[in-house]
Amino acid sequence: MQLSARELAAILNGSIEGDPDVKVNRPSKIEEGGEGSISFLGNPKYEDYVYQSTSSVLLVHRSFEPRQAVNATLIKVDDVYASVAILLEQFGKSTTRNTGISSQAFIHPSAVLAEEVTIEPFAVVEANAHIGKGSYIGPQVYIGQDVQVGNNTIIYAGVRIMQKTEIGDNCIIHPNVVIGSDGFGFAPNAEGIYQKIQHVGNVIIEDNVEIGANTTVDRATMGSTIIRQGAKLDNLIQVGHNVEIGENTVIAALVGIAGSTKIGKSCRIGGQVGFAGHLSVADGTQIGGQTGVMSTIKTPNANWVGTPAIPYKDYFRSFALFRQLPEIYQRLNELEALLRQQSNSTDTSSPTPPNN
C-alpha cells in the first residue's frame, strides 16, 4: 500500500506542514524511520527524535511547534494515538490471506459453513460445527464437535477449540490458544488419591473479544465459562473453569484466574496478577502487575496492588515504611544498646547496703 501525505491527512482529519505529495508505504518507529515510512511523536520526551528522523512523514499533535527545522512532512492531528490506530488499520488491510476452502482441510459432512468462509490447509472442523459468514480458520486449527463460530471471526494457526464452545462475531483468536479444555478439578478419595472430576460444561465467548497467543480458557465443570463482549486478553493467560470476565475488561499477559472467579466489566488487570478462586471483583477495578488477589473486591473503580492486594495508596505508604526498615532496625539496636548501658550504669552507681 502506498499513500500520499495528502491522502493520509484526509483519512486522519489532520493538517499538513510540508510536502503533501510525499508518498509512504509503511509505518515505522520514529527512531528507525527510513524513506517512504511514516512515524509518530506521541510522548513529548521523545521530541529530539523529530529532528533526527529519516521518516518521510511524522504524525504529531496539533499543538506541536518544532524548535528547529524538521526534514519530514508533518501531519498534525487532535489525538496522535487514535490516529496511529487508524493508520495501522489502513496498512493492515494490505495484508492478504487466502480465501476459500482448502482441499487439504478436513470438514465433517455435518459441519455447516456460511458464505465467504476461509479454511486453510490441515484445519479440522468436526461434526455439527457451525462457522459464520466471513470467518477465517487458519492452518492446523481444530474445531471440535458442536462448536459455534460467529461471523467475521478470525482464528489463527494452531488454535484448538474443543466441543460445545460458542464464539461470537468479530472475535480474534491468536495462534495456539486452547479454548474448552478440562478445568483443573480433582477430588481426593479415602486413600488420598486424586480422582478426576469430569467437566461437562462449555465456554462462551461473546462478540468483539480478542484472545492473545498461547492463552487457555477452561470449560466449566457445569454451566459455562464466559468471556463477555469487548474483553481483551493478552498472551499466556490462564482462565480457569466457570470464570466470568466482564465486558470491556482488559487483562495483560501471564495472569492466572482460578476457578469460579467473577471479574466485573471495564476492569484493567496488569501482568502476572493472580486471582484466588470463588471470589468476585467489582466493575472498573484496576489491579497493578504481580498483585495477588486473595479475597473479593467490592468497591467499584478502585485501584489495588500488592500481595495480598490492598488499596493502591495504602500499598505505597506501606512500601515507603518498608524501605526504611533497615534504618529503623539499626536505630532500634542502637536504642537497645543505649538502654542497656544506662541500666548497667545505674546498677554500678547504686550505694552498697550497710551490713547489719
Phi/psi for 236 (5° steps) reads 60, 45
In whole angstroms, what separates CA 75 from the centre of its chain?
A: 30
- Exposed (0-12), middle (13-18) or buried (19+): which is 292, by Cβ within 10 Å? middle
Question: Which is catalytic among the residues 61, 130, 241, 278?
Answer: 241
Distance CA 235, CA 320 (A): 33
The residue among 105, 109, 138 whose CA lies nearest residue 124 is: 105
DSSP class of 261: -
Look up residue 163 and give its three cell numbers: 466441543
Look up 130 and say whether it is catalytic: no
The distance between the two most distant Cα atoms of the chain, rounded to a whole number of Å, is 117
Phi/psi for 308 (5° steps) reads -65, 155
The residue among 172, 179, 93, 94 whose CA lies nearest residue 137 is: 172
Distance CA 158, CA 120 (A): 11
**Collapsed DSSP state (helix, strand, coil) of residue 216:** strand
**Collapsed DSSP state (helix, strand, coil) of residue 256:** strand
Residue with cell 494452531: 158
Active-site residues, by number, are 241
